[in-house]
Structure 1
Amino acid sequence: MKLKHALSLLVITALLFNCSSDSANPGSPDPTPDPTPDPTNSTKVTYTSDIASIINGNCISCHSDPPVNSAPMALTTYAQVKNYVDLIITRVNSSTNPMPPSPNDPLSDSDKSLIQQWKDDGLLEN
């Protein structure tokens, strides 16, 4: 009978130690924030917030509706810019046939990067 009590006491003790609360418990949320946040969670580039001002400040003088100065297309709306984004990226990055053409200043590297990021983010409008 003493063996049965000793065995019961051992099982109860083992259960108590296993049920105790500790910080390594996988069921508990980790209270420590991630010190290196995921950069993909940053704000997405959108046409309305980021791209429209670049196009309006650098392209609309020729790519108006209707286009002038031999510009082949209008870039006055989100849909138009979205449809021509690959051509825009190619031309603003071209060293031999850049847009905007001389004597205009080329787009800044940050503006070029924003256009590329807009495409990479999924060509969001708002």
Structure 2
Amino acid sequence: MQKKLIYITSILLFYGCSNESTDDLTDPVPEKVSYSRDVKPITDTNCIPCHNNPPLNGAPMSLLTKLQVQDAIINRGLLDRISRPQGASGMMPNGGTRLPQSSIDIIKKWQTDNFSE
């Protein structure tokens, strides 16, 4: 009886699990990324504590506006800094936890989408 129960449980687990979809593994990047809907919430949560106006904790610039974030991507290596491994020198947010890859991907897509509002 116990062997039969183990066998049935094994079959149910085998058929109940599937690896056909990875949709639940990461947050999907929107088809079209906008600053106000997608990027601003990321920067407000993760960057503004230091990149405020005036900047705090040694931050060299403010990241409060679309143009400031866009300039940081184009001229200041923002994507490189947020993409560095946890604990790497120069990783942002400074002294914090690396952004989730889905957030980084949204910011990269925003650049690819020509920095739409």
TM-score by structure 1 length?
0.62
Residues matched between the structures, number = 83
RMSD: 1.3
SS of 2:64's equivalent? Answer: coil
User: Which residue of the other structure, out of 112, 118, 124, is the alignment partner of 2:110?
Assistant: 118
Aligned residue identity for 2:44:
N
Identical amino acids, percent of aligned pairs: 35
Q: Secondary structure at the match of 2:40?
A: helix
- Runs (4+) of structure 1 exceeding 3 A deviation are none
How do 1:45-124 residues align onto structure 2 when only pairs under 5 Å count? 45-86=33-74, 87-95=77-85, 96=88, 97-102=90-95, 104-124=96-116
Q: Unaligned 5+ residue runs, structure 2?
A: 1-29
Structure 1 residue runs of 5 or longer lacking an equivalent are: 1-41
**Pair member with larger Rg:** 1
Higher relative contact order (CA 8 A, sep 6+): 2
